Amino acid sequence: MRVEGVMPATEGSAEIMGDCQYQRILLKLSGESFCEPGEFGINGTLVESIAERIAEICRLGPQVAVVVGAGNILRGEAFSRHSHIPRNTADYMGMLATIINACALQESLERIGQPTRVMSAIEVAAMCEPFIRRRALHHLERGRVTILAGGTGNPFFTTDTCAALRASELDANLLIKATKVDGVYSDDPKKDPHARLFDRISYEEVLRQGLRIMDHAAISLCRDNAIPIVVLNIFKKGNIARAVCGEPVGTLIGPP
């Protein structure tokens, strides 16, 4: 399937093998992917690299929505815990930070010819459109990468929950959580050298074992709406394209 409005592959672009297995995907980007490990803020080179990978998967054909986090700038819960700022306010500050990341990604995508729209759950009229489901679907159907910012628009919810919510609302066929680890482990691999990387695991096992790759509200929402989740390492080039083509990469979370 080729989506109207998606730019054709250009000379020198990375060759992609295989065919797209999904009509519509939602890509969840952690804020940490916008900066070097252990650093904060936005690294322009890394954002450009992410944009190129998104444009690459667009050329495979699927409609692409993106939910961005803001851990590179501010995490509401952690900021509130270490300051006198109430959690409600801190979470709204985090939502604003996701809009900063979304705008950086938008500019990087459009610079390489990929049409985009930024939509936010909180109103920032000078920078982005409000999130309206029908309008988001229209943008996706026109081949525009639709970057979803502002979280759910409510405090006390993570951007992982936002990703699961938007994937459900937009009838996505796959949710890709692009992070800094290779997938879902039985334990923290930094603390336990014997931690096992799962190739595949069920929603129920993630919840039963208390694995914290995503918050449990997000896992439950995807389970209830039959949306498979692939957790992969965004820093390994080609991983996202492989997932879109249905190749084994990272960890697949789905039904038993």
pLDDT in tens, 70-127: 999 999 999 999 999 999 999 999 999 999 999 999 999 999 999 999 999 999 999 9
pLDDT in tens, 161-175: 999 999 999 999 999
Q: Using only C-alpha atoms, what is the Rg of the chain?
A: 17
Which pLDDT band, with edges at 50, 70 and 90, does 18 fall under? low
Q: Which residue has the tokens 């801190």?
A: 90
185 pairs with which residues across the strands? 197
Pairing of strands 116-120, 129-130: parallel
pLDDT in tens, 121-162: 999 999 999 999 999 999 999 999 999 999 999 999 999 999
User: Which pTM was predicted?
Assistant: 0.90
Q: Bin 154: left if φ > 0, else alpha if -120 < ψ < 50, else beta.
A: beta
What structural domains does the chain harbor?
24-254 (3.40.1160.10)
